[in-house]
């Protein structure tokens, strides 16, 4: 086991080269709806239980199924109302289970990125070959069902191995060259994109996907009240908007249709979207659009600045 | 079923404590303390700058705020590391804006992993404290003494070498100690420690190598405790700090100088949605004319310089 994966270098959040977003926007804003499929009878993984109860875990399963049957459409309509195209963190088996959802997102020109096959199949204890096959399946499935070349990754249920990022970058290249597999949402170390080392040497980056603003972390882990979540989202935005005048920042709201769309919570979410999109210097984008812009315009400057900060050493 | 006979024997049943580390003394029975320039409340802001290793061993327990998921827990690793690369710089801006002189308690390994960060903090002129080797190298009852000695020496050697500061203060990871920790600290030239939360004012603690001063840094007022452990909102943290501040300020009007130790974490309060709450607290603290805002070493020196404060003899 390693003390650190050394996936990224130390990079102080002051005196960084300026990140410039299109139209000199201060904040690149994206919403990442997790559209997930949790199995009723998942096989066991020695490192992590899928459900707190023996299968069938009706309370947890049915809540998540509610998200797909009821919540998704509500969230999709809301995002559309505020001119936001979702960047879907997708349990790709959903393409087989619920193609109607995929078709509706595709029709709205949403992005799809890989969140594994099922959110009840963890990376833990997979061999490297198994993890590679799982990632390959996920990228191929997205392509088959949507025609998109998957750019981003968020490991299923945030379960990782030491090689997760390396494998995602490699499989993306094997299938689609530099058009796929170039950003990860698995690192929560920064409010700006940063370069990430992968063993192939590919130009690869981390995309801010704020866990602190993630509705499931907020509601299920930190037990925050919906109206306070709204305060948090506004404050998070305000600070990144302020700092974005110096150098472009990224704000992401990672959502789950079974959390954000419930009738007692959706109003708070709507007010946050109204507030954020009501500001002039916001670039409402998708994960891929932000990543492509950063790789073309900010990545090299950051690499140089990091080398300089760390005395020329990586 | 029964317990052995000695379960009903009480060898330390006596006046005062059940040990000899310090003397029993109630806060209100002590001579009143006077801070410089007639100030009433000394406020010490300490920033804990921490490294949480991905390969957490959890010996003898998993440190609060450490890894919780199966290896490799990139989620918690990177959330904590956020503090060292992003959150701390929001702190620095806020300290500059409100003219705060904080202290920084650094894990020894932070100096090794992030030398530029350590230099940046030392260059502000702030006092640095030692905060153990890293957040997975706990000091604990039953720990091998040779191992703990090496851990303390490595921490202090690293921080002293890289910072050029004498490093006189110590904060154990998770404020956990072994029976030997205080003795090992004074053997290595540590003057004061911030682990015991049993007083609101500094007090004298006996060790094998002379006395150690204990500085109050209440866990229950920490951001990570109120927000992370108790799941209160950041607004509630602000209210709780203000209430503590107001109460101690009021008490100081009749009972002599008081102090407030505030321990904060850049991975917690340095998040974009929380930094404004820290700024609100700093504004409140510095807005009061009877506040003396200073580092722990300076506050302790003022305390010890006073005849009658009790600091010259055991308390």
Query: Comparing C-alpha atoms, which of B174, B131, B145, B136 is closest to residue B58?
Result: B136
pLDDT in tens, A250-286: 999 999 999 999 999 999 999 999 999 999 999 999 9
Q: Indicate the domain borders of chain A.
A: 22-309
Q: Which residues of B touch A (CB under 8 A)?
A: 53-55, 69-75, 77-79, 81-82, 84-86, 88-90, 92, 113-114, 116-117, 120, 231, 233, 235, 271-276
How many angstroms separate the CA atoms of A123 and A164, rounded?
A: 9
Domain A22-309 class in CATH: alpha beta
Closest to B130 measured CA to CA, from B168, B80, B83: B168
Tokens for A97, please give them: 């289970």
Give the three-class secondary structure for A160: coil
Phi/psi zone of residue A6: left (φ > 0), alpha (ψ -120 to 50 degrees), beta? left
CATH architecture of B34-304: Alpha-Beta Barrel (3.20)
Give the nearest chain B residue to A189 (CA atoms): B82
Mean pLDDT along residues A107-130: 98
Q: Indicate whether A104 pLDDT > 70.
A: yes
A178-200 per-position pLDDT tens digit:
999 999 999 999 999 999 999 99
The residue whose two tokens read 């705060």 is: B100
> Residue B53: which of A3, A47, A213 has the nearest Cβ?
A3
DSSP-derived letter for residue B201 is S
Nearest Cβ partner for B71 among A1, A190, A211: A1
What band does B185 get if pLDDT is binned at 50, 70 and 90?
very high
Q: Tell me the angle at which helices B275-286 and B234-255 cross, rounded to the nearest 10 degrees.
A: 20
Question: Dihedral, CA atoms, A71, A138, A84, A32, nearest 10 degrees?
Answer: 70
A159 with B82: Cβ contact below 8 A: no
In percent, the amount of chain B with pLDDT more than 70 equals 97
Among positive and negative, which fits the CA dihedral B83, B87, B89, B94? negative
Chain A: give the shortest CA distance to residue B73, in Å: 7
How confident is residue B158, by pLDDT bands cut at 50, 70 and 90? very high
Give the pLDDT of residue A312.
56
pLDDT, tens only, B273-315: 999 999 999 999 999 999 999 999 999 999 999 865 554 444 4
- Domain boundary assignment for chain B: 34-304
Residue B119 in 3-state DSSP? helix
Asked if the ipTM is above 0.90, the reply is yes
A10 contacts B116? CB cut-off 8 A? yes
Mean pLDDT, rounded, for B219-245: 98
CA A214/CA A207 separation, integer angstroms: 14
Quick one: three-class SS letters along B163-186?
A: HCCCCCEECCHHHCCCCCHHHHHH
Closest-CA distance, B59 to chain A, in angstroms, reads: 15
- In A, minimum Cα distance to B83 occurs at A189
Give mean pLDDT, residues B246-268.
Answer: 98
């Amino acid at each position: 086991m390693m003390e650190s994966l050394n996936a990224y270098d130390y990079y102080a959040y002051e005196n960084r080269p300026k990140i410039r977003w299109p139209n000199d926007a201060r904040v690149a804003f994206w919403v990442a709806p997790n559209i997930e499929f949790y199995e009723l009878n998942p096989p066991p993984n020695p490192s992590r239980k899928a459900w707190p109860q023996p299968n069938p875990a009706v309370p947890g399963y049915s809540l998540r199924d509610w998200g797909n049957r009821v919540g998704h459409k509500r969230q999709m309509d809301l995002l559309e109302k505020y001119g936001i195209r979702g960047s879907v963190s997708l349990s790709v088996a959903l393409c087989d289970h619920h193609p109607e959802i995929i078709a509706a997102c595709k029709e709205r020109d949403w992005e799809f990125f890989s969140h594994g096959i099922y959110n009840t199949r963890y990376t833990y204890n997979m061999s490297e070959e198994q993890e590679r096959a799982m990632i390959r399946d996920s990228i191929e499935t997205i392509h088959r069902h949507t025609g998109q070349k998957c750019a981003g990754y968020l490991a299923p249920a945030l379960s990782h191995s030491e090689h997760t990022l390396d494998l995602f970058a490699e499989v993306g290249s094997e299938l689609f060259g530099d058009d796929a597999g170039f950003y990860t949402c698995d690192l929560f170390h920064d409010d700006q994109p940063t370069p990430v080392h992968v063993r192939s040497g590919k130009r690869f980056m981390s995309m801010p996907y704020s866990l602190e603003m993630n509705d499931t972390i907020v509601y299920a882990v930190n037990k925050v009240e919906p109206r306070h979540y709204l305060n948090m989202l506004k404050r998070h935005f305000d600070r990144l908007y302020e700092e974005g005048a110096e150098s472009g920042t990224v704000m992401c709201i990672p959502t789950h249709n079974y959390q954000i769309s419930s009738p007692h919570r959706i109003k708070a979410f709507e007010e946050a979207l109204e507030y954020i999109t009501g500001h002039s210097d916001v670039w409402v984008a998708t994960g891929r659009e932000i990543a492509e812009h950063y790789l073309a315009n900010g990545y090299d400057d950051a690499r140089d600045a990091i080398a300089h900060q760390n005395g020329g050493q990586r | 079923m029964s317990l052995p006979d000695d379960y009903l024997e009480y060898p330390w049943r006596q006046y005062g404590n059940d040990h000899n580390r310090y003397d029993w003394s109630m806060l209100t029975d002590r001579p009143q303390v006077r801070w410089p320039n007639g100030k009433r409340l000394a406020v010490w802001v300490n920033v804990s700058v921490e490294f949480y290793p991905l390969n957490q061993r959890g010996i003898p327990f998993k440190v609060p705020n450490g890894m919780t998921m199966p290896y490799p827990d990139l989620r918690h690793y990177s959330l904590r590391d956020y503090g060292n690369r992003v959150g701390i710089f929001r702190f620095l801006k806020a300290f500059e804006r409100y003219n705060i002189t904080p202290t920084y308690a650094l894990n020894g390994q932070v100096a090794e992993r992030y030398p530029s960060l350590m230099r940046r903090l030392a260059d502000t002129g702030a006092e640095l404290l030692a905060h153990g080797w890293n957040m997975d190298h706990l000091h604990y009852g039953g720990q091998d003494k040779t191992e703990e000695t090496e851990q303390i020496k490595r921490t202090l050697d690293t921080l002293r070498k890289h910072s050029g500061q004498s490093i006189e203060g110590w904060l154990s990871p998770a404020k956990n100690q072994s029976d030997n920790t205080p003795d090992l600290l004074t053997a290595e030239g540590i003057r004061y420690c911030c682990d015991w939360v049993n007083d609101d004012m500094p007090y004298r603690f006996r060790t094998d190598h002379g006395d150690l001063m204990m500085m109050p840094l209440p866990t229950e007022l920490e951001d990570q405790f109120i927000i992370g452990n108790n799941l209160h909102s950041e607004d509630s943290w602000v209210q709780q700090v203000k209430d503590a501040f107001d109460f101690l300020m009021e008490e100081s009007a009749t009972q002599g100088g008081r102090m407030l130790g505030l321990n904060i974490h850049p991975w917690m309060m340095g998040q974009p949605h929380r930094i404004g709450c820290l700024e609100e607290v700093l504004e409140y603290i510095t807005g009061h004319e009877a506040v003396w805002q200073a580092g722990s070493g300076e506050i302790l020196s003022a305390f010890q310089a006073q005849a009658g404060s009790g600091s010259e003899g055991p308390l």
